[in-house]
Amino acid sequence: MKQLNMKQAGILFIVLILCSCSFRPSSTEVKHLHQDLIVVTDSISQLMSKYHYNPAELNTNEYRALETKVMGLANSAQTQREYLTGFNDYWKDGPFSHVTLGLSKKNAQQMAEYLDTLRVGEQSVSLQWNQKTAILTVNTMMGVDTKERIIEAYREVASKEAKALIIDLRNNTGGTFAGLPLVGHVLTDTIDVGIFVSRKWWENNTREPKLADVQNLTPWEGWSLMTFWKDVQEDPLTRIQFTPMYPHFAGSVYVLTSSKSASAAEFTIDAFAHKEKVTIIGETTAGQMLSQKMYDLPNGFQLSLPIAEYYSTRIGKIEGKGVKPDIAIDQSVAMDLAISLTQGVDLEDALADVKQKISKMNEEPLGVNTIYLLGNMNGWGKKSKITPRFEYKGKGVYEMHTTLKNGSYEFKIAPLDWGFDYGAIPDQEKVFLGKKTPLARVPGSNNLTIDIEGEATLTFSLDVGDVNSATLYVVKN
């Protein structure tokens, strides 16, 4: 074997040192970045002032303080990504919802056209059965195919003569107009459910709108998000009605909600509440009911901001308040309660059963064991700094957040000593976003797999409330 001389060894040492360093942007690059981000921040303020649905909400101390924080971020961030992440973190607790910042290769017009034709896949809707009770899970209101899958589900519900229907919206954070057929198939009469209120209303009024203000208006109809945005900005008020659709479902309906149910899911839940045969079970919804539109910013950024707010004819403004359930119970047992009621169990007895289950679930099922996401994205735990740890959230659920780049990954969930692990059930290795995956806690189980398109920040939720039937649920943040 050929040996290195001292000069060669010295050069190799220098190269290794250089390769092991984390290069930081130069002071000149950072200065230029700050100048660019200040321009972006000023542009955000200008867009807000021009298009926000109610200028009065921009004149609050809370909003001005947030603007100051964002400008500080523009002067301190070391990368575009740091600025973007910091901005969105600030706005998670902002004075109003539906403000997000992103980087996009498509301009706002192209994104709007894309959303109008978007098909999100089979994970959006699923229909299962518990004897003669249909369980319809709708995970998003987005997507042309979501609407189609809901309509097809009601056809199956009718053909199989379901006696009761459970609609699960606990993980539905909104979207577009898929709520129209979801509600329409349980209606017998057209109902006025609400009013979208734009900037033009608040420029000439100080009071909240009432149903009487829209009685002479033609209700808005259509499926295009682009058309809706155009119409809602041109008119002070936009009247929203839900109309009956065939086949009609005449049985009892139970709608499941959580604090994650948001935006278009909330106005759908509120529409359901108009019907006496519908019982809403779970938690008060998120209280994030606005309509947002995308606008282009300098340097490839894109801002989504709220252009209209929504007033229910039943309960008024939903933003900041949410929709309350008829039966308030932890969302994790809402399905159990609904199924008991469809089986004729008395409400008082059913509540006692699920409350006992909650008490048991609050005991940490894995004891002192700390579990991690172990896979090829982190050297199966060997890269400790990028190996995400699950935290116990109560009620049998462990949760973890991580960012993955474009690619295919294999993984399991286990403690670092591999004393046990959660892997794949045979022939069910693939994990799909927005869809629950059953797991196996047996030695030698197969690896789980997941495909990620583009860089994505994900939430992994491991539910081991029932030790014998653990499930994994992964969603994009």
Burial of 176 (0-12, 13-18, 19+ CB in 10 A): buried
Q: Is 228 helix (H, G, I), strand (E, B) or coil?
A: helix
Summarised one tens digit per residue, pLDDT across range 292-331 is 999 999 999 999 999 999 999 999 999 999 999 999 999 9
| pLDDT category of residue 203 using cuts at 50, 70 and 90 | very high
Summarised one tens digit per residue, pLDDT across range 113-138 is 999 999 999 889 999 999 999 999 99
* Lowest-confidence region among 7-21, 88-102, 134-148, 233-247: 7-21
Q: Is 377 helix (H, G, I), strand (E, B) or coil?
A: coil
Residue at token pair 């901005």: 87
Average pLDDT over residues 197-201: 97
CA torsion through residues 221, 222, 225, 230, sign = negative
Whole-number Å distance between alpha carbons of 242 and 278: 15
Average pLDDT over residues 281-294: 97
State the pLDDT at residue 358: 81
Cβ atoms within 10 Å of 373's Cβ, excluding its own: 24
Question: Between 80-92 and 27-51, two packed helices, what is the crossing angle to 10 degrees?
Answer: 40
Instruction: Supply the pTM of this predicted model.
Output: 0.76
| Cβ atoms of residues 471 and 439 within 8 Å | yes
DSSP 186: T
pLDDT at 234 over 60: yes
Helix ranges (DSSP H) in 209-364: 225-234, 264-272, 334-342, 347-361
Helix ranges (DSSP H) in 190-316: 199-202, 225-234, 264-272
Dihedral-angle region of residue 131 (phi above 0 means left; psi in -120 to 50 means alpha; beta otherwise): left
Q: Is 184 helix (H, G, I), strand (E, B) or coil?
A: helix
Pick from 316, 172, 188, 178: nearest CA to 255: 172
Average pLDDT over residues 389-404: 92
Whole-number Å distance between alpha carbons of 147 and 357: 35
Summarised one tens digit per residue, pLDDT across range 400-438 is 999 999 999 999 999 988 889 999 998 889 999 988 999
| pLDDT category of residue 57 using cuts at 50, 70 and 90 | very high
Higher pLDDT, 268 or 368: 268
State the pLDDT at residue 218: 97
| Greatest distance between any 2 Cα atoms in the chain | 92
| pLDDT category of residue 21 using cuts at 50, 70 and 90 | very low
Question: Could you tell me whether strands 125-130 and 423-424 are parallel, antiparallel, or unpaired per DSSP bridges?
Answer: unpaired
| pLDDT category of residue 17 using cuts at 50, 70 and 90 | very low
Residue 6, CA distances (Å) to 18, 181, 204, 320 in order: 18, 77, 82, 70
Summarised one tens digit per residue, pLDDT across range 158-186 is 999 999 999 999 999 999 999 999 999 99
> Containing H/E element for 51?
helix 27-51
- The token pair at 272 is 């359901």
Q: Is 76 helix (H, G, I), strand (E, B) or coil?
A: coil
91 phi, psi to nearest 5 deg: -80, -10
Question: Could you tell me whether strands 252-257 and 278-282 are parallel, antiparallel, or unpaired per DSSP bridges?
Answer: parallel
| pLDDT category of residue 24 using cuts at 50, 70 and 90 | low
208 phi, psi to nearest 5 deg: -70, 145
